[in-house]
Amino acid sequence: IRKFPYEDAETATMLQRNSLQTLCRAQHVLLTVYIATFLISHGKPGLCQDDKVQISPERCIIWGPGLDPRVVLPVRYFYIQAVNKVGENITVSPGRDSFQVSVSAVSGQERVRVHVPAPLDRSDGSFLVRFRLYSSVVNGLKVEVFHKHTPVAQSPYTLTGAVYHEDCDCPDEDAEAWLSVLKCPSADPQVEQDFSAFPSIELQRVRQEVPLRFTNRGVIHYAIINNQLHRRTLGKYTDFKMFSDEILLSLTRKVRVPDVEFFINVGDWPLETRKVSDVPGPVPIISWCGSKDTRDIILPTYDVTHSTLETMRGVSNDLLSVQGNTGPVWGNKMERAFFRGRDSREERLNLVSMSKKNPELLDAGITAFFFFREREKDLSKAPLVGFFDFFKYKYQVNVDGTVAAYRFPYLMLGNSVVMKQDSPYYEHFYTHLRPGRHYLRIRRDLSDLIEKIQWAKENDGEVEAVARAGQALVRELLQPHRLYCYYYMVLKSYADRQVGKPALHPDMERVRQPSDHSAACDCRRRTRERPSDEL
């Protein structure tokens, strides 16, 4: 044992302590130099890592339809892009509580009932701000955005003039101006494809033929005359008319729709199987889902429209809320494929069997047995999993139900990659998506699923890029205001092709707008001139 050459033990101990402190300081200096060298070699010279993630309130960017007083939506929304001190967009989450938002009436003489939840952190440096109005104002709204009590971008934002809430019946008489305000696309490939089978629509033939051919299905006969909604029901299973009623009423509260008479199928399966070359040819039936073997005209599904109408009120999962609940960042997700759902297609049962054989690659379970109850004993019922927890997994398996799985748009809005079963069924936005670019395609019989999961694990960077591209595109396509654009585009395209005059059937009843106190508002569009296109 080495001894200190000092007789005073206390002095020796003190010197030993000083030596240890000196050594620690030297190690700290070396570590600091190493970190600084690493940051400089992996970033811009002279740029501190703190500067790359620290928010610069005045440099941040704010935009979105919710800041335009002329736009009326069930829930208003806009976006915040966090920007750092050197003017670069922040691309990781700077913290869920980075921004605070308040909404109030401009005039002290007015009160507005409004719900403003915390902004949704989309985990990529951007935030989604939502607020639902429960009353209208005449003299404008003030929207303030703060970062640590400092105004962000051009905050406060003033929405001048009248700002209407969802239940206010105040349609814009100028449809072209309304389309311009919403920045609606002038065309859509799915709409063009659907109407290519119907260069003209003979209303008298449609009125006669649809009830004869489809009485045993759930079909609703609608007429919009003078922007008022009327309907009659055909068939036994028509309860889902509540979903078509609510979106059509919502649309006619916002814009004057041309007089139009049409039939909506409220069942699962598309109906019109005739080909264009058949004699007689197909009749125009509007449905929520299409297929390669049918000629139905497609609208956004009742699921996405209902969740849009009930955002922040009657539903927990909607096109906006899912964007702030996408689970861990990509690198922290579990490298397994995931599925939960009911037994509405046999391939889903096969998925569970595959999961039992490959638990390290696939976690699949049936949560409710209805169509294949005899298989429950063999496969067992899986516990329910909250939808947002799906995104703990990197790979989401999307398998058809009775028709297209209506969860698909919600899965695409997450930051996992979607492995979609090849399918003859489609929703209104599928024409914009490309396999391999926006999602990964798997065979109809799922025979290549395990191989595709293994490939995904071996090509992580490429798969993450597919997930991001798909998410970005669907974020754009499925913004709530785009659903209104699509509905109007379909009804306008239909109205333009009508031969004959839309009429009210004797059996039709009026579907009225909400008339309780919550719908009260002072509509000034009926007494004003066309608004300027300038803010």
C-alpha distances (whole Å) from 161 to each of 107, 250, 464, 519, 523 are: 11, 22, 45, 19, 11
CA gap 82, 94 in Å, rounded: 8
Q: What is the pairing mode between strands 498-499 and 201-202?
A: parallel
CA gap 277, 280 in Å, rounded: 8
Q: Where are the alpha helices (DSSP H) in 323-448?
A: 346-357, 376-379, 408-412
Q: Across the chain, which distance is largest between two alpha carbons, in Å?
A: 117
Examine the pLDDT at 534 and tell me if it is beyond 80. no
Q: What pLDDT score was predicted for residue 531?
A: 43
pLDDT band (50, 70, 90) for residue 533: very low
Overall average pLDDT of the 395-421 stretch: 98
- The CATH homologous superfamily for domain 57-167 is Immunoglobulins (2.60.40.10)
CA gap 292, 423 in Å, rounded: 9
Residue spans of beta strands (DSSP E) within 75-207 = 76-81, 100-105, 114-115, 120-121, 126-133, 141-147, 150-151, 157-159, 201-202
Q: What pLDDT score was predicted for residue 63?
A: 98
Q: What pLDDT score was predicted for residue 21?
A: 55
Mean predicted lDDT score pLDDT of the chain: 91
Residue 294: both structure tokens together: 């049918």
pLDDT band (50, 70, 90) for residue 215: confident
Instruction: Count the alpha carbons within 13 Å of 384 in the hemisphere toward its beta carbon.
Output: 3
Nearest-CA neighbor of 244 among 232, 254, 255?
232
Q: What pLDDT score was predicted for residue 11?
A: 42
Could you report the per-residue pLDDT of 159-209, keeping only the tens digit for each?
999 999 999 999 999 999 999 999 999 999 999 999 999 999 999 999 999
Could you report the per-residue pLDDT of 83-132, keeping only the tens digit for each?
999 999 999 999 999 999 999 999 989 999 999 999 999 999 999 999 99
Beta-bridge mates of residue 441: 420
CATH class name, domain 321-478 = alpha beta
Judged by DSSP in three states, 514 sits in coil
Sketch the domain layout of the chain as residue ranges.
9-42, 57-167, 189-308+481-513, 321-478
Examine the pLDDT at 64 and tell me if it is beyond 90. yes
Instruction: Count the alpha carbons within 13 Å of 487 in the hemisphere toward its beta carbon.
Output: 27
Q: What is the pairing mode between strands 290-291 and 228-234?
A: unpaired
CA gap 421, 404 in Å, rounded: 10
pLDDT band (50, 70, 90) for residue 518: confident
Judged by DSSP in three states, 281 sits in coil
pLDDT band (50, 70, 90) for residue 52: low
Q: What pLDDT score was predicted for residue 31?
A: 54
Examine the pLDDT at 460 and tell me if it is beyond 70. yes
Handedness of CA 284, 188, 417, 449 (dihedral sign): positive
Q: What pLDDT score was predicted for residue 4?
A: 36
CA gap 19, 16 in Å, rounded: 5
Examine the pLDDT at 382 and tell me if it is beyond 50. yes
In the sheet with 509-511, reading across from the earlier edge strand, the strands are 297-298, 286-287, 260-265, 219-225, 228-234, 509-511
Angular region, 494: left φ>0, alpha ψ -120 to 50, beta rest? alpha
Overall average pLDDT of the 230-250 stretch: 96
CA gap 49, 300 in Å, rounded: 45
Q: What pLDDT score was predicted for residue 524?
A: 86
C-alpha distances (whole Å) from 266 to each of 179, 350, 353, 520 are: 27, 29, 33, 31
Q: Where are the alpha helices (DSSP H) in 413-508?
A: 449-458, 460-477, 480-497
pTM of the predicted model, to two decimals?
Answer: 0.88
Examine the pLDDT at 335 and tell me if it is beyond 60. yes
Angular region, 125: left φ>0, alpha ψ -120 to 50, beta rest? left
What does DSSP assign to residue 392?
A: G
Angular region, 390: left φ>0, alpha ψ -120 to 50, beta rest? alpha
C-alpha distances (whole Å) from 370 to each of 39, 303, 346, 375 are: 58, 21, 12, 10
Overall average pLDDT of the 486-515 stretch: 97
Could you report the per-residue pLDDT of 286-320, keeping only the tens digit for each?
999 999 999 999 999 999 999 999 999 988 899 99
Could you report the per-residue pLDDT of 79-88, keeping only the tens digit for each?
999 999 999 9
Judged by DSSP in three states, 386 sits in coil
Overall average pLDDT of the 506-526 stretch: 90
pLDDT band (50, 70, 90) for residue 526: low
Q: What pLDDT score was predicted for residue 140?
A: 97
Instruction: Count the alpha carbons within 13 Å of 497 in the hemisphere toward its beta carbon.
Output: 20
Examine the pLDDT at 10 and tell me if it is beyond 90. no
Examine the pLDDT at 222 and tell me if it is beyond 70. yes
Residue 374: both structure tokens together: 């005899």
Overall average pLDDT of the 470-475 stretch: 98
In the sheet with 440-442, reading across from the earlier edge strand, the strands are 362-368, 334-342, 393-398, 417-421, 440-442
Judged by DSSP in three states, 487 sits in helix
Examine the pLDDT at 397 and tell me if it is beyond 60. yes
pLDDT band (50, 70, 90) for residue 387: very high
Express as a percent the part of the chain with pLDDT over 70: 88
Could you report the per-residue pLDDT of 18-48, keeping only the tens digit for each?
555 544 555 554 555 454 444 444 444 444 4
Could you report the per-residue pLDDT of 423-456, keeping only the tens digit for each?
999 999 999 999 999 999 999 999 999 999 999 9
